[in-house]
């Protein structure tokens, strides 16, 4: 396959230095805090795994974790199919393609707190279009008071905000498929579904993998948008992990537990991403085998 | 096969575009209304059209310096990300070396770390280095998630370029830097464009780290917005106008990158 060349390390070195500076040093600080009780800046007590034990038994954390997993799953289940569908519907060329691309991509480049603010206003029943329309249609919609409404509003906001990422990546993947593939499919009399299943989907593998992983990671760390929109409420209905962590670290200034929580949080994401990464890689290779066999 | 689906395809597309535009339209609409109209009644377009909110932003240094600060650190971040990620991505796409897969996954893990986790250590690290409230601090902090992403995307693009091109160039007596800059880089132009787009995007929209690491001199627009909200009650009009203006730089960037996206990329040898 690729030639072995240890000198390639020299090319990777700048990245490693850069990321080590801004990732390993901070992580060491966190590990340091997670095993100590900081009573005053100059008085610290080593407490071993006490913080980890208390964090792992924290009922609020468990609830936040389950809410988080539910939310991330919902995000993936809605955004990935919707993004693929949207990419398939977008015009392939001409000024329409440019116009649609720009409109679709706009929501990605809005700062996250602005996204929260937009939806905060948009969903209000007195001054927002969405809220007013929903109550006009007779729904008892109130995202600041009702758990389900709040959760759904956060989800719809995320779909609005991030589906374009999936769509743009898939669109780029689709455009890279040579026309010859479609012609071959037409000669074979392949159905639309077959074209999608055996040509488009395998060819989008690379971009889809990036889309799925990015959406999973980012939805798992979602903080700013729900913070602005609902403030985690009503009650704790939309308090996800990052929000809970920030409450602990900055709000209550419990450094030890917050650091232990950070590490647990990080390990959860790492584990889930590792599973997802390998799963997609495997699914991708078996997809490639399918592709080979259809060509044969 | 081509005739029938066209209808539901355009219908779906138009529905989605409506869904995408409506919230934006609402903000644009709000930015042209007076505050009494915003809070008082629900109007589909401004009854009393006003540019006062935009005037406030363009004349108050506290507001417009926020845009400049944001643009500065986003630019620094994009340049550094690309500069370090390009050679690394080349190494990952062309060679095997000890620990390559592990380093690659380790890089990705940094993209997975929630910014909330880095909040406190970054604050302490940059305070002790005397970098607090500088553009470079935010740019460096944003490298944590942008460099791994840049390496990842560029690696995908580079793997799509056949290795024979490299070998031919080396046989022809090109040195690595000369080959990389004059032959290879033009071949992955689209990849560089797309990567710069992603770096710009994720750095431009990030709030938590940017707000924590700055106070006055490098305060980004996103932070200016949150603080004004809490201080002066709810000045919805100015907030909406500021929001509309935050979309402008992004819109310009998309306009430049749309060509590369429309041309298509598959990421890697598919």
Q: Which residue of B has its CA nearest to A178?
A: B264
Q: Which letter, b or e, does each residue of A231-251 get, where b requires 16 or more Cβ atoms within 10 Å of its Cβ?
A: ebbbeebbbbbbbbbbbbbbe
Closest-CA residue to B267 (of B196, B180, B191): B191
| Percent of chain A surpassing pLDDT 70 | 92
Name all domains of chain A by residue range, CATH numbers in brackets. Answer: 65-295 (1.10.3720.10)
Q: What is the mean pLDDT of chain B?
A: 85
Q: Above 60 in pLDDT, residue A78?
A: yes
Q: Which residue of B has its CA nearest to A129?
A: B26
The stretch A101-107 carries a mean pLDDT of 89
d(CA B176, CA B170): 8
Question: CA A218, A79, A241: angle at the middle one, nearest 5?
Answer: 30
Residue-wise pLDDT for B173-186, tens only, equals 999 889 999 999 99
pLDDT confidence of residue A207: 86
Range of A5-14, B78-87, B226-235 with top mean pLDDT: B78-87
Strand partners, B96: A4
From the list A12, A129, A246, which residue is nearest B116 (CB)? Answer: A246
CB neighbour class for B80 (10 Å; exposed up to 12, middle 13-18, buried from 19): buried
Residue-wise pLDDT for A133-172, tens only, equals 888 887 888 887 788 888 899 999 999 999 999 999 999 8
ipTM: 0.86
- Contact assessment for residue B188 and residue B161, using Cβ atoms and an 8 Å cutoff: yes
Confidence of residue A87 (pLDDT cuts 50, 70, 90): very high
Domain count, chain B: 1
Question: What are the structure tokens assigned to A274, written together?
Answer: 């590792």
Q: Report if residue B173 sits inside a domain.
A: yes
pLDDT confidence of residue B91: 92
Closest-CA residue to B68 (of B218, B229, B211): B218
Strand partners, A44: A38
Q: Report if residue B204 sits inside a domain.
A: yes
B16 compared with A229, residue with greater pLDDT:
B16
d(CA A8, CA B213): 35
Contact A244/B at CB under 8 A: no
Contact A176/B at CB under 8 A: yes
Look at residue A128 and give its three-state secondary structure.
coil
A242/B221 CB distance under 8 A: no
pLDDT confidence of residue B1: 44
Q: Supply the CATH number for residue B250's domain.
A: 1.10.3720.10
Contact A1/B at CB under 8 A: yes
A46 compared with A173, residue with greater pLDDT:
A173
Q: Report if residue B123 sits inside a domain.
A: yes
Contact residues, chain B, for A127 at CB < 8 Å:
38-39, 42
Chain A (35-64) residues lying within 8 Å, Cβ to Cβ, of chain B: none
Confidence of residue B72 (pLDDT cuts 50, 70, 90): very high
Question: What are the structure tokens assigned to A50, written together?
Answer: 């006490």
Confidence of residue B6 (pLDDT cuts 50, 70, 90): low
pLDDT confidence of residue A117: 84
Contact A5/B at CB under 8 A: yes
Contact residues, chain B, for A241 at CB < 8 Å:
114
Confidence of residue B80 (pLDDT cuts 50, 70, 90): very high
Residue-wise pLDDT for B124-155, tens only, equals 888 888 888 889 989 988 998 999 999 988 98
Confidence of residue A285 (pLDDT cuts 50, 70, 90): low
Q: Report if residue B99 sits inside a domain.
A: yes
The stretch A254-264 carries a mean pLDDT of 82
- Residue B134 belongs to domain spanning: 60-263
Distance, CA of A145 to chain centre? 26
Which phi and psi (to 5°) does residue A4 adopt?
-85, 130
Q: Report if residue B15 sits inside a domain.
A: no
pLDDT confidence of residue B190: 87
Ranges of H-type helices in chain B = 5-31, 35-40, 52-59, 61-94, 100-112, 115-129, 135-159, 163-171, 176-179, 185-187, 189-205, 208-212, 221-231, 236-263
The stretch A217-222 carries a mean pLDDT of 88
- Contact assessment for residue A115 and residue A107, using Cβ atoms and an 8 Å cutoff: yes
pLDDT confidence of residue B233: 59
Q: Where are the beta strands (DSSP E) in chain A?
A: 36-40, 43-46
pLDDT confidence of residue A295: 43
CB neighbour class for B36 (10 Å; exposed up to 12, middle 13-18, buried from 19): exposed
pLDDT confidence of residue B227: 62
Sign for the CA dihedral angle at B51, B52, B54, B58 comes to: positive
Look at residue B97 and give its three-state secondary structure.
coil
């Amino acid at each position: 396959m690729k030639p072995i060349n240890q000198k390639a390390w020299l090319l990777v070195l700048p990245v490693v230095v850069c990321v080590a500076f801004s990732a390993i040093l901070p992580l060491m600080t966190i590990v340091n805090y997670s095993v100590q009780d900081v009573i005053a800046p100059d008085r610290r007590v080593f407490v071993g795994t006490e913080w980890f034990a208390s964090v792992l038994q924290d009922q609020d954390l468990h609830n936040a974790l389950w809410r988080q997993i539910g939310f991330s799953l919902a995000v993936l289940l809605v955004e990935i199919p919707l993004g693929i569908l949207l990419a398939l519907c977008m015009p392939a060329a001409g000024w329409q393609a440019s116009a649609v691309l720009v409109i679709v991509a706009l929501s990605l480049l809005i700062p996250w707190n602005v996204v929260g603010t937009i939806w905060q206003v948009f969903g209000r029943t007195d001054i927002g279009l969405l809220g007013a329309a929903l109550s006009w249609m007779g729904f008892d919609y109130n995202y600041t008071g009702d758990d389900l409404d709040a959760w759904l509003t956060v989800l719809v906001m995320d779909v609005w905000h991030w589906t374009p990422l999936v769509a743009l990546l898939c669109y780029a993947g689709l455009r890279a498929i040579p026309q010859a593939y479609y012609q071959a499919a037409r000669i074979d009399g392949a159905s639309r579904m077959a074209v999608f299943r055996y040509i488009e989907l395998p060819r989008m593998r690379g971009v889809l993998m990036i889309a799925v992983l990015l959406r999973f990671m980012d939805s798992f760390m979602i903080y700013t948008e729900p913070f602005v929109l609902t403030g985690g409420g009503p009650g704790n209905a939309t308090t996800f992990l990052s929000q809970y962590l920030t409450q602990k670290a900055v709000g209550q200034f419990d450094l030890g537990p917050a650091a232990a929580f950070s590490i647990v949080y990080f390990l959860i994401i790492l584990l889930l991403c590792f599973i997802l990464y390998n799963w997609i890689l495997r699914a991708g290779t078996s997809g490639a085998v399918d592709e080979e066999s259809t060509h044969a | 096969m081509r005739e029938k689906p066209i209808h539901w395809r355009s219908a779906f597309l138009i529905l989605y575009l409506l869904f995408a535009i409506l919230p934006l339209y609402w903000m644009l609409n709000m930015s042209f209304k007076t505050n009494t109209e915003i809070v008082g009644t629900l109007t589909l377009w401004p009854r009393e059209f006003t540019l006062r909110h935009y005037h406030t932003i363009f004349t108050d240094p506290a507001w417009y310096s926020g845009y400049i600060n944001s643009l500065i650190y986003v630019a620094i971040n994009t340049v550094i990300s690309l500069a370090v990620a390009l050679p690394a991505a080349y190494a990952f796409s062309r060679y095997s070396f000890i620990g390559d897969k592990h380093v690659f996954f380790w890089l990705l893990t940094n993209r997975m770390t929630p910014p909330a986790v880095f909040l406190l250590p970054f604050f302490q690290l940059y305070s002790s280095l005397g970098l607090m409230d500088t553009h470079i601090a935010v740019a460096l902090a944003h490298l944590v998630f942008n460099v791994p992403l840049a390496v990842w995307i560029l690696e995908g693009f580079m793997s799509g370029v056949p290795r024979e091109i490299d070998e031919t160039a080396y046989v022809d007596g090109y040195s690595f830097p000369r080959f990389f800059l004059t032959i290879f880089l033009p071949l992955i132009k689209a990849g560089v464009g797309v990567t710069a787009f992603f770096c710009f995007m994720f750095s431009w929209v990030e709030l938590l780290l940017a707000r924590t690491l700055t106070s006055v001199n490098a305060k980004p627009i996103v932070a200016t917005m949150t603080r004004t909200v809490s201080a002066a009650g709810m000045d919805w009009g100015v907030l909406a106008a500021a929001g509309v203006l935050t979309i402008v730089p992004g819109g310009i960037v998309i306009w430049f990158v749309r060509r590369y996206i429309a041309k298509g990329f598959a990421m890697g040898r598919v």
